[in-house]
Amino acid sequence: MRWALVKVCVAVTAMVVVAFAVPLALVVKEMARDRALTNAERQAAAVGPALAITTDRTELERAVASTQAGADGQLAVRIPATEGSAGVEIGKPHATDAAMDTASALGRASTVSVPGGYALLQPTAVSSGSVAVVEVFVPDADVTRGVTASWLVLGAVGIGLIVGSVAVADRLGTRMVRPAKRLAGAAHDLGRGDLAVRVPEEGPTELRSAAVAFNAMAAQVNQLLANERELAADLSHRLRTPLTVLRLNAASLGDGPAGEQTRQAVAQLEREVDQIIRTARAQQSATGGPLAVGCDAAEVIRERMAFWSALAEDQGRTARTAGVERPVRVPVARAELVAALDAMLGNVFRHTPEGSAFAVDVHSSDDAVIVLVSDAGPGIRDPATALRRGQGDGGIGSTGLGLDIVRRVAESTGGDVRVGPSVLGGAEIRVWLALRAPSGAGRRGHKLVRGRRARLVRA
């Protein structure tokens, strides 16, 4: 917008300058020509009294030499011959005889173009009764004297006006663009989850109105999200009553494996419901951004693998883990990471034949953590479709919501999810969790993180 305003002002100012400077330049040129011809008329008139008194060559030469044009050799006099006197010609004329005869016959001054300039022909009656013609030569240099300097001044004034208009337009553009940039930045921050961002109501009227509307929208979004959190907490709280019944019923199942697994599942479900309630009611940090959370991915993976190992043993599956011997911190809430792991492991049990092996590997660096879940099943026919919410990979009973949960967890850190073939012969889900969220450099910072993947996986 700023450069657009500058361009408009330059175009308008340039048109105005051209509209005034070109006619003015032509007027200056015409005035210089008139000034030179007027001076020539004065030089010719200075010889007129001498011609009216005498036609003697000596006297006339003295009169011609007394003028500036005569001294410079630019004045000539021609007196035609009569019956009683011979013709007199003083100086070197530049005009042709025909032009002089025409001026003598018409009896009025005229200007003709000659090589090197112009010739002013002034008819004058002499004492012999004939009409003499006084010629004053005006060089081109006299006709255009001062024109170039005047044009340069006009050009400098025009350029000064254009530069001034650019400066004024730049200041006006800055006054308009700065609030617009603040509004765009606030919208970007709001999109990243900063619900406390607001825009100063400054600038032109339209941008002030936009800032007011944005602030109202941000407040409304904040209120809607608060209502959603409260609703999620209330709905989750209502689940506690049936969970209590399930826990009591599970206690009566005895000490067998099925009873123990049921009690563990009910306890896990109860913990998840409590976590949902705490997360939904969590207040934002003092900076106005989302509350910072994190967990130990290695601990979560060990716990979930222990949970799924009983079912894996029943189905004759071989389960393997790697990279979980030491703590691996990730900027993901424990409940979200558990949900993502359960979604991936649940897909292994649902969509691969019994007896298919699976593995969970963790690779970490200073910038990111990669979680690889691979299996020895038939694989995923269409990886791109599998990551689309609600579509799955076309398998029976696949909704696509599980991998969408995984994708949203990864993208919340600035990472992503990739689906491809595994070393076990089936599918591999690669979850990229960035430890350093992309900064204001935006997508460029994200691409730099992605560029380190090959080195991290090979390590």
**Whether 84 and 129 share a structural domain:** yes
**End-of-domain residue from the set 192, 209, 226:** 226
**Does some domain include residue 114?**
yes
**Whether 310 and 400 share a structural domain:** yes
**Whether 211 and 121 share a structural domain:** no
Locate tokens 């989850």: which residue?
A: 193
**Whether 321 and 361 share a structural domain:** yes
**Does some domain include residue 286?**
no
Give the torsion sign (CA, 385, 426, 416, 271).
positive
Cβ contact 340:378 at 8 Å: no
Cβ contact 90:76 at 8 Å: yes
Query: How many degrees, rounded to 5, is the angle at CA 63 between CA 59 and CA 66?
Result: 140
**Rounded Cα gap, residues 138 and 12, in angstroms:** 41
**Whether 113 and 187 share a structural domain:** no
What is residue 289's predicted lDDT score, i.e. its pLDDT? 41
Name which of 435, 381, 385 is nearest 413 in CA terms.
435
**Whether 84 and 200 share a structural domain:** no
What is residue 285's predicted lDDT score, i.e. its pLDDT? 36
> Looking at residue 13, which CATH number applies to its domain?
3.30.450.20
**Does some domain include residue 170?**
yes
Q: What is the mean pLDDT of residues 210-217?
A: 89
Cβ contact 324:284 at 8 Å: no
**End-of-domain residue from the set 111, 145, 179:** 145
Domain that holds residue 66: 2-145
- Amino acid of residue 376: A
**Does some domain include residue 275?**
no
CA separation (Å) from 13 to 9, 16, 215?
A: 6, 5, 38
> Looking at residue 423, which CATH number applies to its domain?
3.30.565.10
pTM: 0.42
**Whether 56 and 163 share a structural domain:** no
pLDDT band at 399 (very low <50, low <70, confident <90, very high): very low
**End-of-domain residue from the set 145, 160, 188:** 145
| Domains identified in the chain, total number | 3
**Whether 339 and 392 share a structural domain:** yes
**Whether 136 and 153 share a structural domain:** no
**Whether 19 and 157 share a structural domain:** no
pLDDT tens column, 325-383: 999 999 998 888 988 898 889 888 888 898 999 999 999 998 999 999 999 988 888 77
**Whether 172 and 121 share a structural domain:** no
**Rounded Cα gap, residues 1 and 172, in angstroms:** 10
Instruction: Give every strand in the sheet of 88-90, ordered side by side.
Output: 88-90, 75-79, 131-139, 117-125, 110-114
**Whether 42 and 171 share a structural domain:** no
